Structure 1
Amino acid sequence: MAAALTLLLIGSLLQGALCGEFRASIPQKMEVLSGSCVTIPCSFNITAEHKSNLDNTCKAVWIKDPKTVVFASTFSNPNPKNGELIGNLTKKDCTTTLNNITTDYNKSYFIFRVECNNKLIYSFNKQKLCISVNADPPSPTLTPSTLKVKEGDSVSLSCSAPAPCLSHPPTLTWTPDLGGSQETLQDNQDKTKVKISNVTFTASHLHHRKEISCTAVYNKQDGGPASSVSTSLTADISYSPQHITVSVNPSGPVLEGRNVSLTCSSTANPAVRNYTWYRADGGQETFIGIGAVLSLNVSKKDSSFFCKAENDIGVGRSNLSQIDVQCMYYISKVLCFIKQAYFKRLI
């Protein structure tokens, strides 16, 4: 008995699969820009008994729930919504573009109906599309949404924006210009379209704390002002110390035996954790101290210095900094000579 019931159930399932059913595949919801168009991806199935009825007499009809016809693929309806059947009904493709969408259709449900000059007339009431009409388009999506890398890393960013109106897809631009970008038009899972721009560049310390933005510009079908929306991220680039400089106080000639203050400055991310100082003597480098600021009692041999800055990423060094050290003995002789000359003039 159980075996017989099982066979009966399997037979019923097979019969249903072979006979097919009336069913449409359309998105559950779409967001549309007011004044533009919407291309509705649509496909459908019918029962096997109606397969021969799907012919060139068939037309696509879109109904605003409950009974308002907004588009028909023939002009038999006196007030059709301006649009175009993109798909081929004989291939069960009912993809349709509705033009010049207004706010009158905001939050409305739409139903697809196939009408043929035979027995095949069917409204797919179980599958409904809700259209939201907006004054502004949604902001584009950046992937990844944050950027934290090291200098020298290869970075790939992707910007995506919905493209509900295929005749007026958005244009995507990057700021700043990061090099050549590649744009594609791709399908979402529900067959709606999305415009994608991909850009690849090498991270530099020059990008650190810079705002990287993707802007989507939508031109409207009705000729109204274009709508522009942007999404941004701030780049966090880790890099070794750069732009390392040495400042000397006081500047200018310094008497031998006097103190000078040397300051080492740099930019780095993360911050510098160690400054070291060196005296350059010909081809030799002699370590003389640590810290961002170094106080030094100078001698004649202390004429060329440089500093190194180190963080977790690496080490950088400054150019040589020269100190004009004046010998005390030489200065004394000059002063003595001037003094003697002065007194001779008085005599």
Structure 2
Amino acid sequence: MDKLILLIFLLQGVWCGDWSVSLPEKIEALSGSCVTINCTFDIYNKYDNDLTDSAAGVWFKDGIDFLKNVVFNSSRTNLYVKGEIIGKLKSKDCTTIFYNVTSNYSGQFFFRIEGNGGLKITFSKKSALINVIDSPPNPTVQMFKDQMEVEVHEEVLEGSSMCLGCSAKTLCSSSPPTLTWSSTDRLHLNESSRLQLDQQKQTEIISDLNFTATHLQHGVTFICTITYQIQQRNTTAQNNITLRVQYPPKNTLVSVFPSNSVLEGSSVTLICSSDGNPAVFNYTWYRENGGQLEELQTGYNLTFNVTDRTHTGRYYCQTKNQHGTQNTSVLLDIQYAAKISLFSCNRTDITVCLCEAHGNPSPKVEWHLSGRPVSNSTNTFISEERLSSTDLRSFITLHQSLTHTDTLQCVINNTHSTASKQIQLVASPQEMTRHSAPVSLAPSAASSPAPSSCSSACYPATVSMSSLNSLPFPTSPGSPHPASLLAPWNSAPAQSVSLVTPAAALSQFVLPGTVSCVSTPKPALKTPKKATRSPRPQPSPKPPGPSTPAPPSPNPSGPLLCSPEERLEATP
């Protein structure tokens, strides 16, 4: 019994090893290309010496009958299948490549090893199925979030670390295939490729696309394309994956209908829109009030049926979903017609007027003097002061002489209206003296040359530039102006001064009250009727003759003047 056990043990040492072969279960081959069968085998150790460089590999197809099923023998040529064993049989590597694959190559393939001596064994228990296809298979696409594989239809949160993987069999092309990524939105993609063996020890190419998920990639389709070169032509296959990203509200926008600028009294609607995944479920409206936000209402729109200028301001829309909020704002501009709020003038030796106007859009201001537009010149200065976005103040300064008929007009306008106001300018004291009402002359009832006297309600009596006994009042160069002669006696009681004109002599003025006027000898004039009124008791006219006036006392308040329309009455 012991001898039997020893014999069995010795036989195990001699037959150590096993008859086995390793083949892929299924191989896809592209028609027109080649196919590689990865193959290794094992034999009993006692046959190792028979496994020499002269050993041959044989392949059967769809059976192991030597007469019907042998399609390849590495020791022979001109068989059914063209190919070669690219592995080293001595090292028990039977990897084989077949060229110019056609659809007839599809089937089950069995391997046989033939060495020296008794090494001739067919591995009939294991085979490789070759499937010949006319076009390349689509690559496989996978999605990984934070290095964990997820379903391709699963939604990911914005900010997640993403990796899209694409893999494909290298098959057997004349040059290695290539994998490329593209996207429907033409995003810039950072990809990397590598080769590795799959579980069936077939070589596959893998391309990884790494990025951080953002809302810009939501709904974007990423496309992986494999390109094979088959007999000097390219054949491609594709697969894709659409990314779905959840994110807080983005691109919030307020639209105003009919527009941001609307006329006072009309209707306006503000509409808020936003992009978010999941969709925005809450819209809240606010208005800026004194630096604080005042909540108005909820809902995606805000409507004012009848607007007024108090509605002008900045409005905010806040959008919200389960991942966050976002605010945006719009400036609502209520426009209205232009109006003049203030128009006034101040007269001294110059005329200064101001005109304040408001309106939206801000109005423009023009000045018209006696119906004619005026602009900046040596006698006119115009300036403007911006009080606010809707209020404007305009100044005009006039240095020129004015008459009692001059008018000044402020004209304003904006896109909605035109308005104006007018003022009748009143001449300055100096100009009033130059343009006061004429004094009527009356001859004395006595001798000729007849002294003349005239009375006036003015204090002092006004003197006109009109004719004196049909002769002009002093107009020659260098002649003193009447105002300069009258001014020193504006408060003196009954004084006189002599004055000579180029054509007539005016010997004296008696101020205040009755004024005595003496002209050169002329025919006596018809004595007018006695005046019907006198503004104050008048002293008797002084007889003509030389007189020396007493020094007057100036009145700092200036002369009292008649209005241009007042008529004066003379007394003989």
Q: TM-score under structure 2 normalisation?
A: 0.53
The worse-fitting range, judged by mean Cα deviation, of 322-331 and 302-311 is 322-331
When residues 18 and 306 of structure 1 are mapped into structure 2, their CA distance, relative to the original with a 3 A threshold, is farther
Give the drift of 1:271. Answer: 0.5
Which residue among 268, 271, 276 is the counterpart of 1:268?
A: 276
When residues 242 and 121 of structure 1 are mapped into structure 2, their CA distance, relative to the original with a 3 A threshold, is same
Note the C-alpha offset of 1:329: 8.7
Name the CA distance, whole Å, in 2 between partners of 1:132 and 1:336: 86
Q: Displacement of 1:210 after TM fit?
A: 1.7
Q: Name the residue aligned to 1:181.
A: 191
Mark the structure with the bigger radius of gyration.
2
Query: Which residue does the alignment assign to 1:344?
Result: none
> Compared with structure 1, are the counterparts of its residues 208 and 14 closer, same or farther at alpha carbon in structure 2 (3 Å cutoff)?
farther
Amino acid at match of 1:156: C
Higher relative contact order (CA 8 A, sep 6+): 1
Q: Provide Cα deviations, 1:173-205, integer angstroms capped at 9, x if missing partner.
A: 112255222212221222122221111111121
One-letter code aligned to 1:244:
T
Query: Does the Cα contact within 8 Å between 2:338 and 2:419 map onto a contact in 1?
Result: no
> How far does residue 286 in structure 1 lie from its aligned partner after superposition?
2.6
Q: Which residue of 1 aligns with 2:429?
A: none
Quick one: distance in 1 between partners of 2:154 and 2:34?
A: 35
- In structure 2, the partner of 1:60 is 57
Q: Which deviates further from its counterpart, 239-248 or 253-262?
A: 253-262
Maintained 8 Å contact 2:81/2:98: yes
What is the aligned partner in structure 2 of residue 278 from structure 1? 286
Structure 2 CA distance, aligned partners of 1:42 and 1:252? Answer: 77
The reply on whether 1:153 has 2:160 as its aligned counterpart is: yes
Query: Are the aligned partners of 1:256 and 1:300 in contact in 2 as well (CA < 8 Å)?
Result: no
Partner of 1:90: 90
How far residue 164 of structure 1 moved from its aligned partner, in angstroms, is 2.7
Cα distance 1:336–1:130, how it changes in 2: closer, same or farther (>3 A)? closer
Query: Amino acid of the residue matched to residue 139 of structure 1?
Result: N
Which residue is equivalent to 2:215?
A: 205
The answer to whether the 8 Å contact 1:300/1:326 transfers is no
CA deviation profile, 1:89-115 (whole Å, cap 9, x unmatched): 121111111111111112x22111222
- What's the Cα RMSD here? 3.2
Structure 2 matches for 1:272-311, cutoff 5 A? 272-281=280-289, 283-296=291-304, 297=307, 299-300=309-310, 302-311=312-321
| TM-score of the superposed pair, with normalisation by structure 1 | 0.84
Matches within 5 A, 1:190-229: 190-220=200-230, 222-223=231-232, 225-229=233-237
What is the aligned partner in structure 2 of residue 73 from structure 1? 74
Specify the code of the residue in structure 1 equivalent to 2:218: H
Select which of 46, 50, 53 maps to 2:47. Answer: 50
Supply the distance in 1 between the matched residues of 2:51 and 2:142 (Cα, whole angstroms): 44
Q: Once the two structures are aligned, what percentage of the paired residues are identical?
A: 38
Q: CA–CA distance in 2 between the matches of 1:283 and 1:17?
A: 99
Distance change in 2, residues 1:336/1:41 (3 Å): closer
Deviation at 1:79, TM superposition (A): 2.5
CA–CA separation in structure 2 for the residues paired with 1:337 and 1:219: 80
Runs of at least 5 residues in structure 2 that lack an aligned partner in the other structure: 144-151, 340-358, 361-411, 423-572
Change (3 A) 1:92 1:255: same
Q: Answer 1 or 2: which has greater helix percent.
A: 1
Unaligned 5+ residue runs, structure 1?
Answer: 342-347
Partners in 2 of 1:124 and 1:252 — Cα distance?
Answer: 85
Q: Could you list the per-position Cα deviations for residues 37-92 of structure 1 after superposition, in whole angstroms to 9, with x for gaps in the alignment? A: 11111100001210111111112222223344433334x33426332322111211
- The 8 Å contact of residues 169 and 195 in structure 1, kept in 2 or not, is answered as no
The Cα shift of 1:30 comes to: 1.0
SS at match of 2:200: coil
User: Letter of the aligned partner of 1:113 in structure 2?
Assistant: R
Deviation at 1:208, TM superposition (A): 1.4
Deviations 1:264-314 (A, max 9, x none): 111111110111122235643332222100123554363212212111111
CA contact (8 A) 1:72 1:80 kept: no
How far apart, in 2, do the equivalents of 1:185 and 1:337 lie?
A: 81
Q: Say if 2:51 and 2:116, in contact at 8 Å, map to a contact too.
A: no
Instruction: Kindly indicate whether the alpha-carbon contact (under 8 Å) linking 1:300 and 1:327 is maintained by their aligned counterparts in 2.
Output: no
Q: Take 1:252 and 1:315, find their aligned partners in 2: how far apart are those partners?
A: 24
Q: Which amino acid aligns with 1:314?
A: G
Cα 1:314–1:336 shift into 2, 3 Å: closer
Cα distance per residue 1:9-38 (max 9 Å; x no partner) = xx6799289622211110122111101111
Q: For residues 328 and 95 of structure 1, do their structure 2 counterparts lie closer, same or farther at Cα, with a shift above 3 Å needed?
A: same
**Secondary structure at 2:104's aligned position in 1?**
helix
